[in-house]
Structure 1
Amino acid sequence: MSSSSWQPVLQQTFGFDQLRPGQQPVVEALLAGRSAAAIFPTGSGKSLCYQLPALLLPHLTLVVSPLLALMQDQVAFLQSKGIAAASIDSSQSREQAQQIQSDVRSGNIKILMVSVERLKNERFRQFISQVPISLLVVDEAHCISEWGHNFRPDYLKLPDYCADLAIPQVLLLTATATRAVIEDMCGRFRIAADDVVTTGFYRPNLRLLVQPTPVEERKQKALQWLMHLHNKQTQQGRDFGAIIYVTLQQTAHDVADYLAPQLPFTVQAYHAGLSSDERELIQQQFMSGETPCIVATIAFGMGVDKSNIRQVMHYDLPKSIENYSQEIGRAGRDGLPSDCVMLADASGFQLLENFVYGDTPEPAAIERVLQQIRDNLSYQANETRWEVLMTPLSALSNIRLLPLKTLLVNLELRGVLTAQFSYFADYKYKLHISEAQLLAKFDAPRQQFLQQVINTSKKARSWITFDADALLQHSGEADSRRRAITALEYCQEKGWLELQSKQMTDVYRVDIDKLNQPGLAQQLAQHFAEKEHSEIQRIRAMLQLLQDQQCLSRALAHYFDDTQMQQDCGHCSVCIGKHLPWPQPQALPDLSQYQAQQLCQPLQQAIQQQFGVVAPVDLLTRYLAGISAPWLTRVKARQLGSMGILEHYPYQQIKHWLIARGEKHSS
């Protein structure tokens, strides 16, 4: 399709006379019927790469986005341009979601945005499978790669969803991906190398300044930088925004409380521990300029499209080079000069490293998961199946939810499990009309079936709980559950009842021979050990890049395989001669001053009482290092006295010390 076909739409709908570098080959690949990937820096116009083709493709464009706020902002922008766009998300009422589904079915919506988790919902998949789709867009597509910096297991299922829904084309979007990650994510969707468009990483308006500062001096240094920013922007008559990134939620409050009384503008803390209403209000105040400065954990920023952020400050170390790049990418989106200031020093390395160790399952925990699969198999339609609720399995196995999902994905990749579908285990409904009035809406056969649904349900004062097993036994129909849910959803659409669902259950087909193959748990444990090593190396690579006496902008560009930048930037801290030596971390006292048995005994007793086993050395290490784990939460470990007492020590040093002191229990 030639540019003459999309040029009028670009001008009339979006108000642009031409596309930015990189956008045209992506748009033309999609309009020619091919899949593509756009690897553009933050703020370089990735969204237009799907928004423009979506208006010219015949059917729906389905966008998978990682964040509710991002979806809502994108939908608001598209609607402001007169484009029929919508999202289906958790913030909506039943009536709103039903209206959007109706508009999608009728073809009145051109772009629909959903989270990746929405595709696990059997009710949503049943709906979307009936809608013709031209294009699947995957935002933050690096989440597909297990070796990327923000792997999300549910993303790995997107190629299967794409095939199941018969979507002919895919567009992958990301700002931060190394060559290996790009090859991984594009390989999963069979995107040709010629249709992977990379525009370069370097943004000349960002000044990267590394000023490693001891932690006790950082608050004062942050205050100085913010006052400098305020004075400069006031002189120029400009409003501004600033983000200060910290690692821990408590640090966000401590820094905000220190800065707020001393600055002539509002400063607020933001983190995942706040309620959704609080987070939404703070973000709105930041976007409007009412609160110019946010002190935030990495829970803040994704999808925040504020053009005048003049300063991004790292009070603590970022998690990786990719995270650092994403976070500084929020500065200066209007193209004006902006500062990215690194105050963190190597003292934060230990905390980041401990987070990595906390996400590595113990070999015994992996074996517990495999045994749970063996103990809970069922046999249906000549298949061996396993059904699982993730939160209870996490609590039982002592594996955090994200690594647990990663473990199950690895079992899928090894052919042990095959994802079948997900469904809500529990449905309940409340009648808006009498039972007699409801039954009268249907002909005799449907009336009879619906009567069976109601008769086999469990009735309470207001809500009635659907009982699939009782219905199956009463009706004898193998398909009775699906038929009942379809009927209840139809009644909800008509407004005759209200339907609620919960307890998302994942259903897998199990290859028993592969499940029982010798050494499976050890192979999986080895995989996690390799992933752990990779994450630790990623943190060390970041430290090395920040400490090296080379142009920071050029080093970052080369890390992301951007060979277009052939000379130094001339304005980073290295280029302007302001490279500073990093403070040496203070030496920690020898662990011999502590009594291992005394520190661990309260936890050992609690684990023995609660689970009937001896606490493994990795669990003891996490306890002393202050790393959360499901079993530690279960026994209320923070009330036992020693949780986190050794949080400043390296994980491996604590573990080896415990083993040497006789805590040799197998992990």
Structure 2
Amino acid sequence: MQQLLQSHFGFSEFRPGQEQVVRAILDGHSAAAIFPTGSGKSLCYQLPALCLPHLTIVVSPLLALIQDQISFLNSKGIAAASIDSTQSREETNEVMAGVRAGVIKILMISVERLNNERFRQFIAGVPISLLVVDEAHCISEWGHNFRPDYLKLPSYQQALNIPQTLLLTATATSKVIEDMGSKFGIKPEHITLTGFYRPNLHLGVKGLSSTDKLDYLSTWLQTRQLSSGIIYVTLQQTAEKVAEQLKARGISAKAYHAGMTSEVRHAIQHQFMSGEQGIIVATIAFGMGIDKSDIRFVVHYDLPKSIENYAQEIGRAGRDGGDSECLVLANGDNLSTLENFVYGDTPEPSGIGIVLNEIKKAAFEHRSSQLPQWELVLNSLSNQSNIRPLSLKTLLVYLELLNVIKPTYSYFAEYKFKFLLPEAEVIEYFTAERRDFIRAIFTTADRAKIWSSVNFDSLNQTYASDRQRVLKAINYLDEKGMIELQSKQMTQVYQIVNSEFELKELTAKLSKRFLNKEASEVARINHLVELFTSPNCLSRQLAHYFSDDQMTQDCGVCTACRGERAILPPPPYLTPLEEHDFNQVCADVVAKLGTACTPVLVARFLCGLTTPLFTKLKLRSAKGYAQFERYRFSDVKLWVTQGLK
């Protein structure tokens, strides 16, 4: 271990917690590492990957993180690669060949890649030693960034016969740690927490009205503008506006957000990493995967989305151990916006009822089968039920947990191909029965001018063939450059375990679960405000929140410890809702919604929250859309309910 640490990574000793985790993995155990941002979690899989006999597969939520890690590993002489949507067909095939040959030791993918039928077929034939789950808090619905696809990882681990798992995260509460560990069967003694507190980060909160923030920030930056720093904002237009206003005051700042082209973003990121550009005004699109050691300050111009987000974002400062400042300019102006995003994700009972009815319908249609199946295309069901895709994924996970449905597999409904070599030449490449099989695939395909679609039913009638064999054949032709293959329209197939549920009862139960999740998310925002306005040590409160009991004394340097408790100024005056004419504001949307009209939908419309139905009816351009986006959703809903009576 020490030799590899020195020879490959150039370190003479491990950082706190690393050796314990690496040893657990090399001793054959599954493990979890809960380390603060920037404290070396990645080494916990990078070093074992060199010793383990087979592939290490790393699931990571962000492409930027994946690309950053691969560049680092390749610079250290470690064969690592990714399979992702930005690659050409040739690049993907080259990576797959390297993985099959055992040349590539580490393969990095997004969790969604495992939904891909073609990828699963490929990876099932590869021996894997270790599954690494980065940002592992995403697996818990009690975490701040719950992603339903992560819940499938334990079943993928079993299906692919992966003997060990390593979970990595910086932001997990006690409840989340317990949830993560239980899902992968990780023993408590193999869960390593190094403590959250970093004494070189000096935390500060200043309560300011929105009109005073820029003046305060400009003055604060005067003595710091030669240092590297990130200023976080919520909205893309705020990033542009603040950067321009700082430049007008002689402070060199550049905006960065997801609305820019990838070329512009990469250029700005490169300028920041090289030290050519010191200050970046950015949305949270900037930061994941940024491993710059000398960031001297992180400012939150707007309130962060949660304590977890705040912890991740300030964790990018001071990775070299040098003193760094983390300042929040706190006002309550965007609190309603943060809360309202939560309300936009909660499905209505009617939408849940539509999904449950679809399950009952599928069970009835397949009533003669011992194992009735339900097939769905997520976007189609989202539009049908008016439930946002991510919330619909969560609903499906809840139904799995209640043993109503069980995921079996997913497949692409359509496989299209075009010939890169003459058809006759492709057929003649094969001999005997294989030639007949390939010819049958082509002759039964639905032809168009350039592209043809594989017709599995027609093929089966002409030449009885297993779907997996067909997929293997067309993937082979694609890899060999004989055809170009495209797949689309992901269809998910579930086994219906129980269709005898009482519709009203289950709808109410699921609605309650979503409302509990909604309340939990809103409470998370309130908890953030309580932390920032508390008279108690900010660092100690954060450490306690993240299960760190090692910090027993106040830090002495944060604004609370210095007696500078933040007081939020009152939010700007909003005309009371009662003073607005309901019919004047809502007549257009009520008419366009027609029989679908509910208080929740009208309130979402007024607060600027999108739903699949709004997209279908083009309601974003209707009169009144987002008119009340600065009001609290709960207040708007009450006003709408009274107006509709």
Q: Does 1:607 align with 2:589?
A: no
Query: Where do 1:266-665 residues align within 5 Å?
Result: 266-271=253-258, 273-376=259-362, 379=366, 382-477=370-465, 479=466, 481-514=467-500, 518-608=504-594, 613-661=595-643, 663-664=644-645
Q: Does 1:132 align with 2:107?
A: no
User: Would you say the 8 A contact 2:228–2:278 is kept in 1?
Assistant: yes
Structure-2 separation of matches of 1:421 and 1:174: 28
Shift of 1:316: 1.2
User: Would you say the 8 A contact 2:405–2:498 is kept in 1?
Assistant: no
Structure-2 separation of matches of 1:40 and 1:108: 30
Structure-2 separation of matches of 1:211 and 1:47: 34
Shift of 1:305: 1.2
Structure-2 separation of matches of 1:630 and 1:229: 46
Deviations 1:641-663 (A, max 9, x none): 101111222111111112222x2
Structure-1 separation of matches of 2:620 and 2:419: 45
Indicate the SS of the match to 1:573.
coil
Shift of 1:53: 0.9
Structure-2 separation of matches of 1:572 and 1:382: 64
Query: Where do 1:253-272 residues align within 5 Å?
Result: 253-271=240-258
Structure-2 separation of matches of 1:588 and 1:435: 69
> How large is the Cα RMSD of the aligned pairs?
1.8
Structure-2 separation of matches of 1:652 and 1:458: 52
Length-normalised TM-score, structure 2: 0.96
Structure-1 separation of matches of 2:397 and 2:264: 34
User: Would you say the 8 A contact 1:416–1:514 is kept in 2?
Assistant: no
How many residue pairs match? The answer is 643
Shift of 1:223: 2.4
**Structure 1's 376 and 304: CA in aligned 2 closer, same or farther, altered over 3 A?**
farther
Structure 1: any 5+ residue segments left out of the alignment? 1-5, 234-239
Letter in 1 for 2:399: L
Alignment correspondent of 2:228: 241
Greater CA deviation, 247-256 or 181-190? 247-256
Structure-1 separation of matches of 2:261 and 2:617: 25
Shift of 1:38: 0.5
User: Would you say the 8 A contact 1:62–1:136 is kept in 2?
Assistant: yes
Structure-2 separation of matches of 1:510 and 1:162: 23
Alignment correspondent of 2:137: 142
Structure-2 separation of matches of 1:399 and 1:249: 26
**Structure 1's 283 and 634: CA in aligned 2 closer, same or farther, altered over 3 A?**
farther
Structure-2 separation of matches of 1:631 and 1:280: 36
**Structure 1's 601 and 144: CA in aligned 2 closer, same or farther, altered over 3 A?**
same
Structure-2 separation of matches of 1:263 and 1:144: 45
Q: Does 1:99 align with 2:94?
A: yes
Length-normalised TM-score, structure 1: 0.93
Q: Does 1:206 align with 2:201?
A: yes
Indicate the SS of the match to 1:499.
strand
Greater CA deviation, 375-384 or 506-515? 375-384
Shift of 1:277: 4.1
Greater CA deviation, 122-131 or 441-450? 441-450
Structure-1 separation of matches of 2:399 and 2:221: 49
Structure-1 separation of matches of 2:464 and 2:361: 27
Residue number among 7, 10, 17 corresponding to 1:12 in the alignment: 7
Shift of 1:515: 5.1
Query: What percent identity do the matched residue pairs reach?
Result: 52
Letter in 1 for 2:397: V
Structure-2 separation of matches of 1:314 and 1:111: 36
Deviations 1:301-326 (A, max 9, x none): 22211222222111111111111111
Residue number among 54, 69, 83 corresponding to 1:74 in the alignment: 69
Alignment correspondent of 1:217: 212
User: Would you say the 8 A contact 1:26–1:195 is kept in 2?
Assistant: yes
Structure-2 separation of matches of 1:294 and 1:415: 48
Alignment correspondent of 2:172: 177
Deviations 1:549-592 (A, max 9, x none): 11111111111121111111111111223323221223432212
**Structure 1's 136 and 285: CA in aligned 2 closer, same or farther, altered over 3 A?**
same
Indicate the SS of the match to 2:567.
coil
